[in-house]
Structure 1
Amino acid sequence: MSMLEHHYDVAVLGGGPAGINAALAAARAGAKTILVERYGFLGGMSTLALVYPWMTFHSASGEQVIHGIAQEIVDRLIQLHASPGHLRDTVGFVHTLTPYNPEVYKVLAFQLLEDAKVQLLLHAMVADVESEQGEIKFVTVQTKNGRFAIRASAYVDASGDGDVAYLAGAPWEKGNDENKVQPLTMKFRMRGVRIDQIKQYMKDHPEEFYEKSLISQLDELPLTGVMGFYRQWKKADLPIPRDGVLLFTGPGEDEVLVNVSRVSGLDPLNQLELSSAEVEGRYQVMMLERFLRDAVPGFENAYLSQVGTQIGIRETRRILGAYILNGEDVLSARRFDDVIARSGYPVDIHNPEGTGITSNFIKEGGAYDIPYRCIVPQTITNLLLAGRCISTTHEAQATTRLTPSCMAIGQAAGAAAALAAKLDCKTGDVPIDKLQELLLEGRANLGFTKIT
């Protein structure tokens, strides 16, 4: 085995939204930083699994609770004509959603990281972790030309599945009380869709859509999302455990993202079961395309334009941390002294075994705090967590897993890792006041020169 050693202040493993923001925060705080990603592009679920749009930067009452690098990315996408910014969610599930062009997001992420002088290593996958007495000594990544040992003062696990923490021996949990996880979804896009016809049908048949849908406001608001077509769905009787059609418009004017496929009962941590889910998901896409063209107004001349590079994963490992965020914390809008991020997204649990979604909303349309202790694993002294693998219960994970939340958590993890490296302390001993001060400093003007 060929081992080429490299040393950094901070190593971020995983290039999804959490990992991108973690690497940017660490590098901007002065840390020599590397970001490792197994695909040839960045964006994680937002790009490879077509998790679109981003939901949500706001509480149900309309207060924006996620800012920082996440908002900076939205601002840059707006400047690049790749996002309209935050729009009202016409499904009525949350206050706003944020459409974006994933291809532009991929390139923008490259530019941001380059400007911050982050070392990027693509086509590299974590293969092993060497740890002693609760401290990671190095992480081994597999590449086309052998294995590399990456040594760092602090590490950020942004793998989504908690792979680094798992390989380092950190304790973890999975799924509900029966260890069953939320279902997987193969998302896809269609073009040639008549959005005007969908809007008119919603106005004529409001009873066939989600009760909170903003149908009465469609003359003033752009149609951003649709949940319904209940009559058509029931008549079709497809073998997919859903209650109706869920789709989001954009980024093209005649384009929608369809979030309907559901593969239940398979474990994404089992390679054979994950393989079966990939196959089943694509079968479902073909079935759904035919259904939409044949039965749903506005889709008569639509066509399949894109399918996710991989199936979308909602839940796998949750690494146990110094604190385990729970459902009551979320729904009561609890505040914590060591807050490092906030979220206003409701608890949104897709039934692991059948149809239906369990939705519980935060008290008085508010938001809850995510404490620093949730990103500090219990037994590893130089590791932090970012993304859907942080320390929560099954119920709380159904809100922290959403992309804007993961972006905010990633920024905090990266900044904390940089502080741990600078102060030569354990990640659990990072001074919270210094971290919070760093997170509240605001974004820097990077002087973009390559993307116009």
Structure 2
Amino acid sequence: MTSTSIIEADIVVVGGGPAGVNAAISAGRSGARTVLIEKYGFIGGMSTAALVYPWMTFHTVNGKQVIKGLAQEIIDRLAAMNASPGHVRDTVGFVNTITPYHPEVYKVLAVDMLKEAGVKLLFHSFVDSVTTSDNRIESVQLTSKSGRIDVKGKVFIDTTGDADLAYLSGAPVLQGREGDKLTQPMTMKFRLRGVNLDAVKQYMMDHPDEFYHKTPFSELKELPLSGVMGYFKHWKEADLPINRDQVLFFIGPEADEVLVNTTRVQGLDGTNVEDLTEAEEQGRKQVLQVAAFMKTLPGFEKSSISAVGAQIGIRETRRIQGQYTLQAEDVVQGRSFEDVIARSGYPMDVHDPKEKDVKVAWVEGDGAYDIPYRCLLPQNIENLLAAGRCISTSHEALGTTRLTPSCMATGQAAGAAAGLSVKHGVNPALVNIQELQEVLTAGGALLN
């Protein structure tokens, strides 16, 4: 038997994905003693473990940038390391820009930035229980290679993506869509090397009817290829046992490499260990099927698998039931909120839990909507914030807030709010909104 060690902090962030990274950096920069807990031995969450690539999007469909702050700082530093070209035109045509990056460099840069902010890192650590008292979290308990660890804190931030911390603390959570509670499907992403992208582009220009109708065909000669959606005819003729209607891939990070986002695992629960086990099995079998199929496509004849996600990519599981729940109409109508802490220009993009299709709704007005602070505040637990994929939204609105730049923005906001909470000795719900907005704006965030 090993004894339980104790770590004390002001702010405890659970989950080291992009939301957690930005939350912890933001909290650390406030001067608060901050701990970041991550189950893997590296940073990045879905962006690295599941190969979610590229990041999309920092802009509206009209090209106006609406997400900056820490997220943009990370892009700038990656670009300085030759690990990202910055924001480039989306040649799929779904959004205006996408942001390629090198995941291995991001893993290192994120740790550097966390350490610069004074954040203590605990990798290979899994939160499996939470101690609460009087509607407050007192500590979280970790299982680790060195035994049990009890991490005490004043404010806690749930950036697990699955609302694990909220769920374990007893805060109310929601899962999936109303009625049957089914969630968006999972995807096992993988990379192929040896792709002749000149041949791919030429085939697109010669056969535009086989690709997404918003592809900017008139500009393809000049634009560097960044992503492709289509091959409708080939996919239909292949008749693979995958409930999807097209091939989707993005270019990079190497010049002959693509990231394939085409597998689809439906009907399984990402918070159930047996379902997750089955999802991993199904996903990896689908990778081999799709990779073999893609060798029949023009430009892919010499392609081979170069990487597969360490885990399956998860779009949706639990989310908190917050002080406000962002609705589909809030997104579509581009609504403004007085307690805005982040904005996004990504459309609602909901992969159907059962069918082949993806339901899309575009943001009206100037192409951006506000995310209110209340979506980060769970009910019942007074010293807890959420950021990233598990903030308070409807099933439909999650189809936009789950995207990485949005998660980065809500992460920065949660970290700043936690810092103010510690500074003033108040619960996160009592943080002065104007002061929070001033801190975020000073940190480069765009709130209008």
Bin of the TM-score, shorter chain as denominator length: over 0.9
Work out whether 1:254 is the aligned partner of 2:256: yes
Residues 339-384 of structure 1 deviation map (CA, whole Å, 9 limit, x = unaligned): 0000000000001012010001000351000000000001110000
SS at match of 1:364: coil
Residues 256-278 of structure 1 deviation map (CA, whole Å, 9 limit, x = unaligned): 00000000011111110110000
- The 5-angstrom pairing of residues 22-33 of structure 1 reads 22-33=23-34
CA distance in 2, matches of 1:271, 1:191: 32
Q: Is the 8 A contact 1:60 1:365 kept in 2?
A: no
SS at match of 2:152: strand
Matched AA of 2:131 = E
Matched AA of 1:241 = N
Matched AA of 1:311 = I
Displacement after TM superposition at 1:2 (Å): 2.5
Work out whether 1:232 is the aligned partner of 2:254: no
Matched AA of 1:188 = F
Q: Is the 8 A contact 1:65 1:344 kept in 2?
A: yes
TM-score of the superposition, structure 2-length normalised? 0.98
CA distance in 1, matches of 2:51, 2:135: 36
Structure 1 residues without counterparts, runs of 5 or longer: 445-452
- The 5-angstrom pairing of residues 85-100 of structure 1 reads 85-100=86-101
Q: Who is 1:218 aligned against?
A: 220
Q: Who is 1:396 aligned against?
A: 397
Displacement after TM superposition at 1:172 (Å): 1.0
- The 5-angstrom pairing of residues 365-380 of structure 1 reads 365-380=366-381
Matched AA of 2:7 = H
Displacement after TM superposition at 1:116 (Å): 1.1
Displacement after TM superposition at 1:443 (Å): 5.8
Q: Who is 2:109 aligned against?
A: 108
Aligned length: 443
Q: Who is 1:448 aligned against?
A: none
Q: Is the 8 A contact 1:26 1:415 kept in 2?
A: yes
SS at match of 2:396: helix
- The 5-angstrom pairing of residues 160-199 of structure 1 reads 160-177=161-178, 178-199=180-201
Q: Is the 8 A contact 2:350 2:396 kept in 1?
A: yes
State the Cα RMSD in Å.
1.0
Matched AA of 2:24 = A
Residues 67-91 of structure 1 deviation map (CA, whole Å, 9 limit, x = unaligned): 1000000000000000000001111
CA distance in 1, matches of 2:422, 2:334: 32
CA distance in 1, matches of 2:41, 2:269: 25
Residues 253-300 of structure 1 deviation map (CA, whole Å, 9 limit, x = unaligned): 00000000000011111110110000000000000111001x211000
Q: Who is 1:208 aligned against?
A: 210
Q: Who is 2:46 aligned against?
A: 45
Displacement after TM superposition at 1:442 (Å): 2.8
Work out whether 1:324 is the aligned partner of 2:325: yes
Q: Is the 8 A contact 2:68 2:444 kept in 1?
A: no
Structure 2 residues without counterparts, runs of 5 or longer: none
Q: Who is 1:141 aligned against?
A: 142
Q: Is the 8 A contact 2:158 2:164 kept in 1?
A: yes
Work out whether 1:61 is the aligned partner of 2:66: no
Instruction: Give the 4+ runs in structure 1 shifted more than 3 A.
Output: none
Q: Who is 2:345 aligned against?
A: 344
Matched AA of 1:159 = T
Residues 189-230 of structure 1 deviation map (CA, whole Å, 9 limit, x = unaligned): 000000000000000000000000012211111111100001
